[in-house]
Amino acid sequence: MSPTTATSDRTAFPAVLLDGARAALARQRTAEVEVLVAVADWANAHTEGGEVADQYGPFGLLRGDAHLLPGADVFGELGGPGAPLVSEFCVVEIAAALGLSTDSGRRLVGEAVELRHRLPRLWNRVVDGVLPAWRARKIAQETTQLTPDGAEFVDRHLAPVAHKTGMVTAQKLVAEAVARFDPEKAELDRADSDATRRFDIDLHGQIDPTRGVVAVSGTLDLADALDLENAVSRVAADLAVAGSLDSLDARRSSAVGEIARRQTTLDLSGCDNADAVRTTTGEASNQTGSDTAPAATRSKARQVVLHVHLAEAALTDLDPNVCGGIDLARVEKTRSFVLAEQVREWCRATSTQVVVKPVIDLRDRVAVDAYEVPDRIAERVRLTKPTCVFPHCTRPARGCDLDHVDEYVAPDPNHPGDGGPPGQTANLAPLCRRHHRVKTHPSMSGVGRERRWRYRRLPDGSFIWTSPHDHQYLVDPHGTIPLAPDRQPDSAA
């Protein structure tokens, strides 16, 4: 090979990489379109023929006697007004098949229905490969609030340029459509400032285990924001005067907790208006730590309720030789952990009231022969299974039903030998209400007699779920994986 040829190959190599990346992206976009079309077809197969979303309201009944079957499948409004109603249970199955949570699957199905039925020009651009599926889905998220005429307006103006314009253009068109075709909504949106206000404390997000902190975000009324800023600044300054060596940002963060603990003791039931509430708040802020402050404005002790599985030495002396290294504690209502040192810091604070819960040895098998679940057994189930055990579901077990994996069989008082096996409450698993329903009631379609979700527990404590169309999923403490059709469930590890 001549030096000239070698130089030419090295020069062409980056171009080959670029071409390969663009080709891979094209294949990915083609696959995304195929998935979106399949989802839209699935939704069409599970709609109430000829019925539109606004005819029976947001949830038309799947069948005439559905009111006699609480929790049965219903048709739901997933797209905007005028889009077909779609079976709720069919969303659960397509979401599991695509490896999505039910909520994520509901959004995907809704966007597919919105595009196909209310934004046909944009839908055709997606099918033709001109408009990326992800961009079309973002547009569909914006248009579900529009009337049919408003959606047609956005579809007509946006379809020719949607592939090369940003979401700002789409949002402006949606706002114009609301003003043109739904003036009452536009006026209400302007008048209703509450629609944009929120305050979120992300207890379910990832927590930094070394510090035990969570993210907080929100949108406040300007007057409320000014009051909060004044209170936070004042308490942060008081903390510095009291000897805190933390940075200003850290003191402002601590100030929010101080303010929260004070306000939980205020009796606001006698306040006549918002000004009275603000006056009370201001007085509480001015009396930081004062023993002479009225009882209603004194700081309330922080109460810490922890479910912690630690050796006693972990809370008294962090000695790696004694404890075997760094100890971690999982805290109720979160999905993460904190260091044992953080727990000790909470417990050492003079303003902290520590609530000690009885230690539960989760290795013991405890059960009773009754359909009702005693609190001690319910607590054990929720500690061993902290989330709903349905495929891809992450709803906390504290808000779930406790379901008998095998149907409960009541004992016959006249025939002691009949009835279910002893200790049936040991056969429990947490299911959120939605997934408890799909396990209990048949779906709109499926194979065989059951046509509903079924599951069973494996010896290692994991679960095998079978969908109405006989797709199977393995759910263990680490998550969900689909099982191949020819794979024997009992061999799943």
Q: Render each residue's pLDDT in the chain as its tens digit; 493 residues.
A: 565 555 555 566 788 888 899 999 999 999 999 999 999 999 988 887 633 333 333 344 444 555 456 778 888 889 999 999 898 999 999 999 999 999 999 999 999 999 999 999 999 999 999 999 999 999 999 999 999 999 999 999 999 999 988 888 888 888 888 888 888 877 777 666 566 788 888 877 656 655 677 888 888 876 678 788 889 999 999 998 988 888 988 899 889 888 887 765 545 444 444 343 333 333 333 333 334 444 444 445 556 565 555 545 555 554 545 444 455 566 555 555 566 666 666 666 656 666 655 544 555 555 445 445 556 677 778 878 888 999 999 888 888 888 888 775 555 556 555 555 554 445 789 999 999 999 988 887 877 777 889 999 998 889 999 999 999 999 998 899 999 865 544 443 3
Both 174 and 214 in a single domain?
A: no
Answer whether residue 466 is part of any domain.
Answer: yes
Both 253 and 379 in a single domain?
A: no
Rounded Cα gap, residues 288 and 292, in angstroms: 10
Answer whether residue 408 is part of any domain.
Answer: yes
Both 284 and 317 in a single domain?
A: no
Answer whether residue 67 is part of any domain.
Answer: yes
Question: Residue 366's pLDDT is what?
Answer: 52
Both 168 and 214 in a single domain?
A: no
SS3 36: helix
Both 12 and 160 in a single domain?
A: yes
Structural contact between residues 251 and 240, judged by C-beta atoms closer than 8 angstroms: yes
Both 268 and 291 in a single domain?
A: yes
The pTM (predicted TM-score) of the whole model is 0.66
Q: Where are the beta strands (DSSP E) in 295-370?
A: 302-305, 328-330, 337-339, 352-355
Domain span including residue 487: 375-491
Answer whether residue 360 is part of any domain.
Answer: no
Which of 288, 322, 355 is at the close of a domain?
355
Question: Residue 70's pLDDT is what?
Answer: 72
Question: Residue 309's pLDDT is what?
Answer: 53
Question: Residue 384's pLDDT is what?
Answer: 81
Both 67 and 31 in a single domain?
A: yes
Both 286 and 265 in a single domain?
A: yes
Both 88 and 42 in a single domain?
A: yes
Answer whether residue 410 is part of any domain.
Answer: yes
Both 126 and 239 in a single domain?
A: no
Answer whether residue 369 is part of any domain.
Answer: no
Question: Residue 351's pLDDT is what?
Answer: 60
Both 388 and 308 in a single domain?
A: no
Answer whether residue 196 is part of any domain.
Answer: no
Rounded Cα gap, residues 31 and 37, in angstroms: 10
What is the token pair recorded at 428?
């429990």
Q: How many domains are contained in the chain?
A: 4
Rounded Cα gap, residues 116 and 302, in angstroms: 53
Question: Residue 178's pLDDT is what?
Answer: 86
Both 76 and 54 in a single domain?
A: yes
Question: Residue 31's pLDDT is what?
Answer: 96
Structural contact between residues 52 and 85, judged by C-beta atoms closer than 8 angstroms: yes
